[in-house]
């Protein structure tokens, strides 16, 4: 989820205020950022595909270990990046101000204008990220035969990341639906969320590895 770039407001501004406020301009071109991210994911998938093919041809312990590690890393990379783009698309489709950050900054992808965007725009941004990462999980389950350790690994790590992200963001979405501002809801996230929610994601990934 995009990080705030302003002081925490007491509450979100009204719909009319959000529309009257000038939107900040993007720090870089959308196409530049899109091409950058496609290149990063293509490089990751190329390494994974090479390791997967090597293991399929040789079946050695070393190739199995390599494709397992590659699959776990690429699964997280893919799902995290699509998750962030889902947030961005949700914010933009809802009409929210969400200017892109510089292309060399990587993640977060954009700055969400918390003071001037509305509750509805915050919700659209939040829901967009969750729809995106669960879509990755479903596409991997439907599109991969899951006949190799690498394919199981990439799907399992995507599932683990989806559990990690949603376990953080679903409560935020629920708090905003009850009337809190986006920043007030984000402030309720526990300070140890990486350790706590990360353990949920790790357990989910390991369970998926065992089941798949």
Contact 52, 64 (CB under 8 A): no
User: Alpha carbon of 86 to those of 6, 78, 117, 124, 130: distances in Å?
Assistant: 22, 12, 17, 10, 7
- Is residue 141 in a domain? yes
User: Alpha carbon of 11 to those of 65, 114, 182, 185: distances in Å?
Assistant: 50, 9, 8, 10
Q: What is the pLDDT of residues 71-103, one digit of tens each?
A: 999 999 999 999 999 999 999 999 999 999 998
- Is residue 186 in a domain? yes
- Is residue 197 in a domain? yes
If you count them, how many residues does the chain have?
A: 212
Please state the domain count of the chain.
1
pLDDT for 105 beyond 90: no
- Is residue 5 in a domain? no
| Residue span of the structural domain in which 119 resides | 21-211
pLDDT for 4 beyond 90: no
pLDDT for 11 beyond 70: no
Q: What is the pLDDT of residues 122-159, one digit of tens each?
A: 999 999 999 999 999 999 999 999 999 999 999 999 99
The contacts of residue 64 (CB under 8 Å, 6+ apart) are 55, 149
Q: Whole-model pTM?
A: 0.85
- Is residue 15 in a domain? no
- Is residue 121 in a domain? yes
- Is residue 12 in a domain? no
Contact 52, 67 (CB under 8 A): yes
- Is residue 67 in a domain? yes
């Amino acid at each position: 989820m995009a990080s705030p770039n302003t002081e925490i407001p007491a509450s979100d501004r009204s719909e009319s205020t959000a529309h009257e406020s000038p939107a900040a301009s993007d720090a870089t071109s959308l196409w530049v950022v899109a091409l950058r991210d496609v290149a990063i994911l293509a490089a990751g998938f190329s390494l994974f595909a090479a390791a997967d093919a090597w293991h399929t041809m040789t079946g050695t312990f070393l190739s199995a270990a390599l494709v397992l590690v590659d699959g776990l890393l690429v699964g997280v990379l893919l799902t995290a990046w699509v998750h962030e783009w889902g947030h961005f698309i949700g914010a933009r489709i809802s009409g929210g101000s969400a200017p892109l950050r510089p292309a060399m900054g990587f993640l977060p992808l954009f700055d969400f204008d918390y003071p001037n965007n509305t509750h509805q725009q915050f919700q659209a941004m939040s829901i967009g990220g969750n729809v995106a990462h669960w879509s990755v999980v479903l596409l991997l389950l439907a599109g991969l035969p899951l006949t190799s350790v690498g394919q199981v690994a990439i799907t399992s790590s995507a599932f683990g990341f989806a559990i990690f992200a949603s376990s953080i963001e679903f409560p935020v979405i629920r708090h905003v639906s009850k009337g809190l501002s986006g920043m007030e809801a984000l402030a309720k996230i526990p300070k140890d969320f990486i350790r706590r929610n990360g353990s949920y994601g790790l357990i989910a990934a390991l369970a998926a590895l065992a089941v798949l």
